[in-house]
A and B are shown apart, each in its own frame.
Chain A
Amino acid sequence: MSDTQTLEKKKSEPLFSKKNKKLISNPLNDDNPITVQVLGICSALAITVKLEPAIVMSMSVLFVMGAGNVVISLMRNLIPSRIRIIVQLVVVASLVILVDQFLKAFLYDVSKQLSVFVGLIITNCIIMGRFEAFALANTPWKSFLDGVGNAFGYAWILIAVAFFRELLGSGTLFGIPVLGDPAAKTGLYALGYENNGMMLLPPMALITVGVIIWIQRAKNTKLIED
């Protein structure tokens, strides 16, 4: 009786211990899935023209990643390692279909804008990467934190890129004009300012991500590879 009690005590760790907190904070900065691991770039380029779809996309990935990591972690001792990729795919595909149906039902306009990219969450390398690298070897709670952390790491880059692309490319934020009306020439446009058409093109998303990477590595020189 006393033996099991000490064992339990050893096992139990505060929910937000230092280690667990790291699981969330690391992917936000030094281990960011986009800027450091360079995963999930395709969607970062494709859906960051406007803020709204970028945020919806981030939320979708947050849900899929959090839930998926927990599910995989719960099943980690049952999955034969030979077919684990198939099992992971089934889990992520079911979750993505849930998200897709939810968006179609409640956020139809955004769902239209995201079009095929909701389905393509399945192929988002970050998700499969976290299933493989983390959830298969860790407890559900830790896996949940790891999934949420990585999703937030993905989200803040997406939202930052979308912010600059929408502001400079269309002069709006969430579809609301903030720099004046380009047609009526009010606000900044009265001074001769014009929207930057290149911000709407995918190369500029790549360059914006590149600039974020640049700033990050200039601040933390440990991240620079040879």
Chain B
Amino acid sequence: MKAIHNLFEKVKPNFTDGGKWEKFFPVYDAFETFAFVPGHSAQSGAHIRDGVDLKRTMVTVILAMTPALLFGMWNVGLQHYKALGVADQMEFLDLMIFGAWKVLPMVVVSYAVGLGIEFIFAIINKHSINEGYLVSGMLIPLVMPVDIPLWMVAVSTVFAVVIGKEVFGGTGMNILNPALTARAFAFFAYPSWMSGDKVWVNTGGEAVVDGYSGATILGNLATTGQAGTAYADWGIAEMIIGTIPGSIGETSKIAILLGAMILLITGVASWRIMFFSAVGALTMGLIFNAFAEYAISPEQQAFMAVPYWQHLIIGSWAFATVFMATDPVSGAQTEKGKIWYGFFIGFFGIMIRVFNPAYPEGMMLAILLMNVFAPLIDHYVVEGNINRRTKRLKLANA
């Protein structure tokens, strides 16, 4: 620790005013504050004294995502060897190594590209580098299918950071969740790599077992109305544990629950958003169950008749609710607003999922939609509060 501190002190004169690399002060500042608690304090206004700052918050979220990431790596290996029909002969370590070999490059690309852009913008705009990207950079690989080419991850990241975030003024100013912006971009730009039954399981072009299908549960439901196929008949246990094909981080509900607990205990994420997203999803599920007989096709009828509570363990509802909807920047800010915001995310997510076979997973679009509406919800909550209090004032004066 001492050595690192000395190193920082030694190179510091180069970056301060008049130094050789004066322009790159934000880069130095970012590394210094990452390693040590910053020595400067806020200059104006009222502040709360607290050990938690943006960096600690972000690190907590990353910690919460780690179980999903590790499970995702293992599952990538498992699905790969299962497709080749040799999963039984493989050790735990084999699966992990194969998964890490596929997933870690995506994490590295996402961080390198995203942070690179953040650094460039910080240097041009002469502001300090924000930590916001630490979370987005981890989320982006977790919401991508394993087989997507790395350059597509890079292009999506560029789009998300520049158009989704920097044009609005950087961390804290963005309207849309950057990680979901990246996923939406990849989804619409390269649909053949983001949907269908070819991309969720890496087969490496090798011979696969008879009857193999790499479709996700939602993909199967949208096309046939059945969750599983002859190759793999998914039960409730698989959906909860997560040994199913899907985006890297979304499959295991247990790992996500673990992350949710970390976020809730540390108070980083809002329980209102998570809870009411579940309420919304269950409400829509119940509506579908009640009206399943009016479906326009037998496939859709089967999809609508899926027990309402299963929508919480199918697809990415859990991951999106825990890690995406609770983004404090793009979500609703008022406590009452969070209730409506969360509710509609669950509600629309399940609606899009069932009604539109072109979008097998609706959570991405539902959250982006509600991101846009979050300021409006907040506006009406604040207005309502003002009206209530004016009425009370009038009553007291009358």
Contact = CB atoms under 8 A, between A and B. Distances in A.
A130 B56 CA distance: 56
Contact of A197 (B151, B167, B190): B190
Contact of A192 (B149, B185, B188, B191): B149
How many interface residues does chain A have, given as a range?
Answer: 10 to 19
B189 interface: yes
A198 B163 CA distance: 14
Contact of B188 (A193, A194, A197, A210): A197
A95 interface: no
Contacts of A207: 163
A197 B186 CA distance: 9
Interface in A167-195: 192-194
B185 A198 contact: yes
A201 interface: yes
Interface residues of B, number: 12
B189 A197 contact: yes
A108 interface: no
B188 A198 contact: yes
Interface in B191-210: 191, 193
A201 B149 contact: no
A102 interface: no
A101 interface: no
Interface string B176-190: 000000000100111
A51 interface: no
A120 B151 CA distance: 40
A198 B151 contact: no
A37 interface: no
Interface string B136-177: 000000000000010110010000000100010000000000
Contacts of B163: 207, 210
A197 B191 contact: yes
Contact of B189 (A193, A196, A214): A196
A31 B294 CA distance: 56
B188 A214 contact: no
A199 interface: yes
Nearest to B149: A192
Nearest to B192: A194
Contact of A196 (B149, B167, B190): B190
Contact of B190 (A194, A201, A210): A194
Given A192-B149, A192-B151, A198 B167 contact: no
A192 B185 CA distance: 18
A198 B167 CA distance: 19
Of the candidates B188, B190, B191, the one having the most CB atoms from chain A within 10 angstroms of its own CB is: B188
Contacts of A214: 167
Of the candidates A193, A197, A199, the one having the most CB atoms from chain B within 10 angstroms of its own CB is: A197
Interface string A204-220: 00010010001000000
A210 B185 CA distance: 16
Interface string A32-58: 000000000000000000000000000
A198 B189 contact: yes
Contacts of A197: 188-191
Nearest to A168: B189
Contacts of B193: 194
Contacts of B189: 196-199
8 contacts: A193-B151, A196-B189, A197-B191, A198-B185, A198-B189, A201-B188, A207-B163, A214-B167
Q: Which 9 pairs of residues, A with B, have the shortest CB-CB distance? A: A198-B189, A198-B188, A196-B189, A197-B189, A192-B149, A197-B191, A194-B190, A207-B163, A197-B188
Given A194-B152, A194-B190, A197-B190, 17 more contacts: A192-B149, A192-B151, A193-B151, A194-B193, A196-B155, A196-B189, A196-B190, A197-B188, A197-B191, A198-B185, A198-B188, A198-B189, A199-B189, A201-B188, A207-B163, A210-B167, A214-B167
